[in-house]
């Protein structure tokens, strides 16, 4: 449901409860509460915004089962493809990768960057499955122009399990529409959000 609708419905319900309560105690419906509707909407909007952008990430709130696990930040890790080169019979070496996560309590977007390509989520969620926190998303991968002859643009999906509260590891698998698959693992995290591979690599070099 749209946030604006939620705020207005919440404010209307609160004002309605007060109006009905005054009717029950005084015997007549007091509509004076309607004059506070705009103020109630404003206060509700501010509180919801504070929660959505910041409050939900606080450690005590993160322990509430219904609150999504915070994975916001830049993660350093590797991508390990299961592809076997038919000419050599060998798999590809793991690739250095960075997972850039922008997240509020209601929305999460993912950007996965390597030296050769960038993937952006088209649909993403943080949820609970059988008591385990997971990050699932669909993505579109756009390789650099100079490698598209061997690595074309493609769609794929990722399923990562989230370990720890606060989260300290993301690990799982990916699949693509070009019949490739593999594993991803991210164990180092910085809260700063960056935009590309070079900035992400520099962020972790500076912390060493």
| pLDDT single digits (tens) 20-76 | 666 666 666 555 655 666 666 677 778 888 888 999 999 999 999 889 999 999 999
Q: What pTM did the predictor assign?
A: 0.81
Phi-psi region of 179 (alpha: psi -120 to 50; beta: other; left: phi over 0): left
163 C-beta neighbours (distance < 10 Å), count: 14
Q: Which residues contact 15 (CB under 8 A, 6 or more apart)?
A: 33, 34, 36, 37, 40
What is the distance between the alpha carbons of residues 14 and 33, in angstroms, rounded to a whole number?
10
- CA dihedral sign of residues 133, 111, 55, 46: negative
Give start-end residues of each CATH 2.40.128 domain in the chain: 73-205
The fold of 73-205 is Lipocalin (2.40.128)
């Amino acid at each position: 449901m749209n946030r604006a609708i939620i705020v207005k419905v919440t404010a209307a319900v609160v004002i309605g409860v007060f109006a009905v309560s005054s009717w029950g105690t005084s015997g007549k419906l007091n509509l004076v509460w309607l004059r506070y509707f705009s103020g109630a909407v404003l206060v509700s909007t501010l509180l919801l915004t504070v929660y959505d952008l910041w409050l939900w990430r606080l450690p005590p709130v993160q322990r509430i089962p219904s609150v999504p696990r915070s994975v916001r930040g830049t993660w350093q890790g590797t991508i390990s493809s299961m592809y076997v080169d038919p000419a050599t019979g060998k798999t590809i070496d793991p690739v250095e990768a960075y997972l850039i996560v922008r997240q509020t309590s209601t929305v999460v977007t993912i950007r996965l960057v390597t030296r050769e390509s960038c993937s952006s989520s088209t649909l993403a969620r943080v949820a609970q499955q059988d008591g385990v926190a997971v990050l699932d998303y669909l993505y579109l991968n756009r390789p650099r122009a100079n490698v598209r002859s061997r690595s074309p643009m493609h769609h794929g999906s990722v399923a990562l399990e989230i370990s720890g509260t606060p989260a300290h590891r993301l690990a799982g698998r990916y699949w693509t529409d070009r019949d490739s698959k593999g594993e991803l693992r991210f164990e180092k995290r910085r809260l700063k959000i960056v935009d590309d591979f070079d900035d992400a690599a520099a962020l972790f070099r500076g912390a060493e």
